[in-house]
Amino acid sequence: MTTRPSRGTLLLVPNALDLGAPDAPPIDAVLPMGVLREAARLVHWVAEDAKTTRAFLKRVDAVVPLAQPLQAIDIRELPRPAKGAQPAPTLIDLAPLLAPALAGADIGLISEAGLPAVADPGSALVASAHRIGIAVRPLPGPSSLMLALAASGLNGQSFAFVGYLPTDAVARTARLHALQQQSRRERQTQLAIETPYRNATLMAALLHALHPDTQLSVACGLTLPGGWCATRNVSAWRADPPTFEHKHLPAVFLWLAH
Per-residue pLDDT of 4-20, as tens digits, reads: 568 999 999 999 998 87
CATH class of 9-138: alpha beta
Per-residue pLDDT tens over the stretch 25-60: 899 999 999 999 999 999 999 999 999 999 999 999
Could you tell me which CATH number the domain at 144-256 has? 3.30.950.10
- Rounded to whole angstroms, the Cα distance separating 187 from 80 reads 37
- Cα separations (Å) of 22 from 29, 56, 169, 185, 226? 15, 13, 34, 43, 12
Per-residue pLDDT tens over the stretch 124-181: 999 999 999 999 999 999 999 999 999 999 999 999 999 999 999 999 999 999 999 9
Cβ atoms of 224 and 249 within 8 Å: the answer is yes
| Stated pTM of the model | 0.88
Long-range contacts of 6-9 (CB under 8 A, 24+ apart): 6/104, 7/101, 7/102, 7/104, 7/133, 7/134, 7/135, 8/100, 8/101, 8/102, 8/103, 8/104, 8/105, 8/106, 8/107, 8/134, 9/101, 9/106, 9/107, 9/134, 9/135, 9/136, 9/137
User: pLDDT-derived band of residue 77, with 50, 70 and 90 as boundaries?
Assistant: very high
Task: Cite the beta strand spans of 78-145 per DSSP E.
Answer: 107-110, 135-138
Domain locations in the chain as residue ranges = 9-138, 144-256
Answer yes or no: is pLDDT of 3 > 90. no
User: pLDDT-derived band of residue 23, with 50, 70 and 90 as boundaries?
Assistant: confident
